[in-house]
Structure 1
Amino acid sequence: MADDDDFSLFAQEVEGVTPLKKDEVYLAKKGAPVDYEARKLAAQVAAEADRNHLSHDYVLKVDPNDMLEYKKDGVQDGVFKRLRQGKYGIEARLDLHRRTVEQSRQQVFQFVEDCIKHDIRVAIIVHGKGDREPDPNNQATIKSYINKWLRDLDDVMAFHSAQRHHGGLGAVYVLFRKSEKARLENWEKHQKR
């Protein structure tokens, strides 16, 4: 009985639909060469683009003069305090002045990957305060995204607005997780004591 009802419903839905004529359908020529290299390259580009999970959708706006700070569980208070005070050596720098949100999104993602790849522990990202924007709705746009993106990256352990001599509220110190190699070296160093 249920099959009859399904068939009746289907027949009602497709009533008045006319099939396409065979000559209206475009089919690729048989034997047309397929550019496998171009397909492979397109797939690689798409896969790389998919790795970047940082969103450029809506973000909670911060004020140009807001201080940014974040610390994951497990980061010692003393470590965070030294980061906040700018007492760690800055090993890498990314400047996002005059970048669009999309350019910034791509550069931040790549910058973090590069820092992790090269065992960098502390870096600085200069985002600007965005207080010179004529439109108040666009103020601190990149700063707002940085506040969101850095929280979304597993490799970022903590961040804090920089000291005045490093850019103040227009820059942020970033503490990255230790690589396995750095953890092993640290463990070995402390075992010798």
Structure 2
Amino acid sequence: MSRRRRGLSSEERTLWATVARTAVPLRADEAIAPEPALSEPVTEEMLAALPAPDKAVAPAAQKPKTPPLAAIERRTLNRVARGIQGIDGRIDLHGLTQHDAHHRLRAFLVGAQARGAKLVLVITGKGRDGDVTHAAHFGEMERGVLRRRVPQWLAEPGIRDIVIGFEEAHRSHGGGGALYVRIRRRREG
């Protein structure tokens, strides 16, 4: 037996028309997608039969994250400043464009890591006083572009895997125009 559908009464049609006029459609990002209907209700037995999530598998499936940049220990900085601990390599980026400096820095750090270096000196220079005309035109002084950019580059993912941390160098090694950079030991495999 089929059931005959009842139509709306005139009062129901009037009510529906009033509601439809006052309704405001949802934006696409606010719309809620309907959930798919289940073929049968979920029972406690079904939930109990599901395998327990393996917590050991989830983190192993993810790529291990590189730890955050760490400060160089004060003791190490003092030993380097006094000349007790040596610097395993140095690069001078004076006078290079940002593009050239970035590529040379990366190549230097990769080479230093391959050689087993632990601490290197990166000389950026302090920068010279910006041109007043240039500063007025661009709204800021362009003093020490490499001095500002090298720490940003050291934190980038491509270089970040090589670097443990960095600190401003002692005055005897260039002070604010140079950085001590600790190199991560190369991973085998």
**TM-score relative to the length of structure 2:** 0.51
Structure whose residues are more often helix by fraction = 1
Question: In the alignment, is the contact (CA less than 8 A) between 1:122 and 1:173 conserved in 2?
Answer: yes
> CA–CA distance in 2 between the matches of 1:115 and 1:164?
23
Q: After superposition, what is the alpha-carbon deviation per residue over 1:139-171, rounded to whole angstroms, capped at 9, x for unaligned?
A: 121111101001112110010010000000000
Name the structure 1 match of 2:75: 82
Letter in 1 for 2:127: G
Which residue, 97, 102, 114 being the options, matches 2:99?
A: 102
Question: In the alignment, is the contact (CA less than 8 A) between 1:131 and 1:139 conserved in 2?
Answer: yes
Name the structure 2 match of 1:5: none
Unpaired runs of 5+ residues, structure 2, are 1-66, 136-140
Question: In the alignment, is the contact (CA less than 8 A) between 2:69 and 2:165 conserved in 1?
Answer: no
Name the structure 1 match of 2:113: 116
Pairwise mapping of residues 1-193 of structure 1 onto structure 2 (< 5 A)? 73=68, 75=70, 80-85=73-78, 87=80, 88-134=85-131, 135-136=134-135, 137-152=141-156, 153=159, 154-180=161-187
Aligned-residue CA RMSD in angstroms? 2.2
> CA–CA distance in 1 between the matches of 2:111 and 2:168?
21
> CA–CA distance in 2 between the matches of 1:151 and 1:175?
13
Percent of matched pairs sharing the same residue: 25
Change (3 A) 1:170 1:177: same
Change (3 A) 1:133 1:149: same
> CA–CA distance in 2 between the matches of 1:172 and 1:86?
15
Number of corresponding residues: 108
Change (3 A) 1:125 1:74: closer
Higher relative contact order (CA 8 A, sep 6+): 1
Unpaired runs of 5+ residues, structure 1, are 1-71, 182-193
Q: Deviation at 1:84?
A: 3.6
Question: In the alignment, is the contact (CA less than 8 A) between 1:130 and 1:139 conserved in 2?
Answer: yes
Larger gyration radius, structure 1 or structure 2: 2
